[in-house]
Amino acid sequence: MNNLPDTPSPPLAPAVDADALTVVRGPRTVLRHLRFTVPRGRITGLLGPSGCGKSTLIRSIVGTQAKVTGTLNVLGRPAGHPTLRSRIGYVTQAPSVYDDLTVRQNLDYFAAILDPGRAAAERRHQHVTRAIADVDLTRHADTLAGNLSGGQRGRVSLAVALLGTPDLLVLDEPTVGLDPVLRRDLWNLFHDLAAGRGATLLVSSHVMDEAERCDQLLLMREGEILADGTPDALRTRTGTDTVEAAFLTLVDQAAGADRTKESTR
């Protein structure tokens, strides 16, 4: 035994760390000087109205957005670094599945891209079966994707993103158009992935009641981060009962600050 005092293990570096992050699309600056972090092993909600820049921010993090400036580190590497490809699962806002393939064939196809070769066949089979079960589509494994409901097709996309057992899962509005039961089941799955497997999730939504299900929030408005923190902290800070009311209070405060700036120009 040594006499050294117990040194707490250093806190894990955030999964995403951004500073002065700016994105120009066409003639417009759609993200302006963002500074934020996304903690590891948690669910962070990216909330804000349509057009505020959620998808642009997500595309920057997964490395598919052009004209990104500032600092953006993801899992300790600059966003877009080739080694991040297998560590990030990304579900786009529009489900990207082949309608003329069955659920299992869709997953087999993407699994073969992720983990090619004859020797990996058994491993791929296990990963595909698990991903289909994760999103509760086992009963529909042999159904053509084109014959599924909208919510079921969305879950095939999610299963594809889960295939590689990613450290970071980025989901752009995954619950749009889902009924309340499916939404609840998906959120339970998200919590299992974070708490059970230690995955980091970044989930965008413009439905404020989903914010209450997140560990951490980034509230966006017009290309800026309006506030961040836990749902509790945001409610307390604004003296409100719901994240929706907190968001509206923060929007009003920001609009008031904008007016003050303009009138003193």
Ligand X SMILES: Nc1ncnc2c1ncn2[C@@H]1O[C@H](COP(=O)(O)OP(=O)(O)OP(=O)(O)O)[C@@H](O)[C@H]1O
C-alpha to C-alpha distance for 77 and 71, rounded to whole angstroms: 11
Among ligand X, Mg ion, none, the one that 265 touches (CB under a kind-dependent 5 to 8 A) is none
Angle at 56 between CA 54 and CA 60, to 5 degrees: 115
Find the binding residues for Mg ion in span 173-232 (CB under 5 A): none
Closest CB to ligand X among residues 55, 102: 55
Q: Is 50 in the site for ligand X (CB under 6 A)?
A: yes
Per-residue x/- track, 189-228, ligand X (CB under 6 A): -----------------x----------------------
Matching residue, tokens 């230690």: 198
DSSP state of 144: B
Region binding ligand X by CB under 6 A among candidate stretches 4-12, 51-59, 178-186, 250-258: 51-59
C-alpha to C-alpha distance for 236 and 220, rounded to whole angstroms: 18
> Phi and psi for 75 in degrees, rounded to 5?
45, 40
Decide: helix, strand or coil at residue 50.
coil
Sign of CA dihedral 210, 211, 212, 215: positive
Find the binding residues for ligand X in span 238-257 (CB under 6 A): none
Find the binding residues for Mg ion in span 38-67 (CB under 5 A): 54-55
Decide: helix, strand or coil at residue 159.
helix
Find the binding residues for ligand X in span 5-44 (CB under 6 A): 25-26, 28, 30
CB of 29 to ligand X, least distance (A): 9
Find the binding residues for ligand X in span 83-102 (CB under 6 A): 93
C-alpha to C-alpha distance for 141 and 106, rounded to whole angstroms: 10
Task: Summarize as ranges the residues that interact with ligand X (CB under 6 A).
Answer: 25-26, 28, 30, 48, 50-56, 93, 206
Q: Which residues here bind Mg ion, judged by CB under 5 A? A: 54-55
